Structure 1
Amino acid sequence: MNDLPHRRRNLLTGEWLLVSPHRAKRPWQGETAPPLAPERVAHDPGCHLCPGNLRATGQANPDYPGTYVFDNDFAALLPDADPAEPHSVFESAPARGEARVICFAANHGQTLARLDPAAMARVIDTWCAQSAELGAKWAHVQLFENKGAMMGASSPHPHGQVWASDFVPELVAKEDARQRDWLAERGTVLLDDVVAAELADGSRVIEASDHWLAVVPHWAGWPFEVLLVARGGVARLEDMDGPARYSLPLILSRLLRRYDGLFDTDFPYSMGWHGAPHGLGGDTAHWRLHAHFLPPLLRSATVRKHMVGFELLAETQRDLTPEAAAQRLRAVDVAP
């Protein structure tokens, strides 16, 4: 099946995608871009996120030594919203929430992939603290990072974001429904079954430990997409016990260094954590904490995958199989 066109189902969303392995051999005469070679400066006086610098609003950042969290100066969600006006045809609803920026490090030239274990642990602790704090007030907390100009990052300084909302966003709502139905119909947890099946198959596994599994999922839509799943009964970031939390920096660092080593570049991506929406309260037995890594690079540091045409108008399509992508990521040397 892997040599001929076929479809695969995303078990978390229920959506199908088309896999066309033979197209991976086609010549490329499309867009290329010169590889980025960012300067590795520790402090950029023009950066709005560096310690001591002024942000766009004129407010000065403190001289922070590690992680630093502040309210997003241009937040997509606000605590107050106008009520929606009823309409006979069009639907709308108020959207409330808050958004914050998380600086991962004071050093402007760092990335998550290059953080030492202690600094990576501080980022993870910050993610957990933000999820717990904002989850006490809002229905859903979305932590994410857009890395690289190719992914629309507004600053090269190592940072991510957290958006908390009074509604459960569409993708998370789909994942919640699919996981809930799986447990009701089968009596097992969907992502536990996926972990077991991926470990038994082995062809898509990138990194594995007693507490985590990093895999190019069977249904991956992006060329080198990775799903990082917590093993065991972890539903939210703040639910991680000591061993799960302590082991996360290592597997996350190894995954990100594989990305950077694949094409010898600062690998761009969007990544984000999906945990049980806090609006569910304690109704989380069907959930497993996981992170999605969605990188655009396809053939090299200069050729990327565009979601266009059939992908936008019909369904997601990919040429490089998940098995081939996983093999290439595993082949990257991440020895210290």
Structure 2
Amino acid sequence: MNDFEFTHRRQNPLTGDWVLVSPHRNNRPWLGATEESSVDDLAEHEATCPLCPGNARVNNEYNPDYQNTFVFVNDFGALLTESAKGQDFEPNDPLFKANFANGECRVVCFSPKHNKSLPELSITEINAVVDTWQSNYVALASKYSCVHVFENKGAVMGCSQPHPHGQIWAHDHLSTEILLENTNQLSYQKQYGSNLLNDYVNREIDEQSRVVIENAHWLVVVPFWAAWPFETMLVAKDDIRHFGQLNQEQKSSLSFALQALTICYDNIFNCSFPYSMGWHSAPSNLDDDSHWRLHAHFYPPLLRSESVKKHMVGYEMLAESQRDLSAETAAKILRSTAPTHYKHGK
């Protein structure tokens, strides 16, 4: 498929959403707001950080002197294990619909080192992160239908602590994104008799224009329907439907893909590249999840430099997503970055 260097729309088959693509706008002058540069000279241990080993958190509990990863229940979790009691909702009210939400929220510290983000960790250290994601996913999926493993990196993404960490939220209800992806993947399977993301992976491998990284078990692409400038999707090439199914070889392969992708991000503008990323697994309450394929979305906000951010405002908030940089051009930029992290030289 050729690059579309003219104004057009693309549809996301996982959600049904559309994005307006306007490549000609890349040459317009920029007079918008800029973000502060990231701080790279952090200490390995910060005495006031609530995530560093041995430090106190706000609940007066002390972190252990952990050596790899560390998981604890979020001190300010958005979900509680039990819903509020004594509250009544009117199930048939078409204008004021509400229902109970219960679940668990956990924090996952990736490393004891305060100054090392994911791309700066060794493969062995990333392996420990992947193992921790899996063990917590399995434990929570046995109790809840929907488990979200995610990371917000960088202050611009609302991350309050630079210490490398992510979160896991689990709940009984299906979140809006998971419900949309479940509906659309199932609809595709019924219509075409095949798995949507399996077909998509094969098409992207054939075309190559949006592929960023490929190894034995994983494919990283700037999706055809990407909304954010350097958005990527990390997809299992094997028939893996949720995080609990990954074997050791697939997890090791994933660690290499994660390291390579996050190094690509940091090397675009030689900075600690912010993003929100999250894994989408098949809901654990499905009788048949054959229409699912495990994948992760990376949504980075930077547009033209470390200090220039893409803002989803105006038309994006009131109509539909719009982007200037085509997915094919974004993939080319990502592919062209050095394989070694910029802090370690060329």
Shared topology, TM-score over 0.5? yes
Deviation beyond 4 Å, 4+ runs, structure 1: none
Superposed, 1:125-164 pairs within 5 Å as 125-164=131-170
Contact 2:263/2:340 (CA < 8 Å) preserved in 1? no
SS at match of 2:302: coil
* Structure 2 CA distance for aligned equivalents of residues 91 and 4 of structure 1: 42
CA contact (8 A) 1:265 1:301 kept: yes
Match of 2:281 among 275, 280, 297: 275
| Deviation by residue 1:224-255 (Cα, 9 ceiling, x = unmatched) | 00000001110111101232112111111000
- How does the TM-score come out when normalised to structure 1? 0.98
Aligned counterpart, 1:334: 339
Mean CA deviation greater in 206-215 or 243-252: 243-252
In the alignment, structure 1 residue 293 sits paired with structure 2 residue 301: no
Instruction: Tell me if the contact between 2:108 and 2:166 (Cα under 8 Å) persists in the aligned partners.
Output: yes
Task: For structure 1, list consecutive stretches of 5 or more residues without a partner in the other structure.
Answer: none
* Residue in 2 that maps onto 1:35: 37
From 208, 211, 218, the equivalent of 1:205 is 211
Supply the distance in 2 between the matched residues of 1:53 and 1:279 (Cα, whole angstroms): 38
Q: Distance in 1 between matches of 2:38 and 2:117?
A: 14
CA contact (8 A) 2:276 2:300 kept: yes
Q: TM-score, normalised by structure 2?
A: 0.95
1:133, distance to aligned residue in structure 2 (A): 0.2
Q: How does 1:71-82 map to 2 (within 5 A)?
A: 71-82=73-84
Q: What is residue 180 of structure 1 aligned with on the other side?
A: 186
Equivalent in the alignment of 2:89 = 85
Whichever residue aligns with residue 61 of structure 1, its letter is N
| Matched-pair contact (CA < 8 Å) for 2:242–2:281 | yes
Alignment partner of 1:17 is 2:22: no
Q: Distance in 2 between matches of 1:76 and 1:247?
A: 33
Q: Secondary structure at the match of 1:298?
A: strand
Residue identity in the other structure for 1:25: N
Which moves more between the two structures, 238-247 or 226-235? 238-247
* Counterparts of residues 197-276 of structure 1 (less than 5 Å): 197-276=203-282
- Report the more deviating stretch, 198-207 or 74-83: 74-83
- For the Cα contact (< 8 Å) 2:14–2:184, is it kept in 1? yes
Q: Give the residue type in structure 1 aligned to 2:205.
A: L
When residues 84 and 113 of structure 1 are mapped into structure 2, their CA distance, relative to the original with a 3 A threshold, is: farther
**For the Cα contact (< 8 Å) 1:275–1:289, is it kept in 2?**
yes
Tell me the SS of whatever aligns to 1:74. Answer: coil
2:59 aligned partner: 57
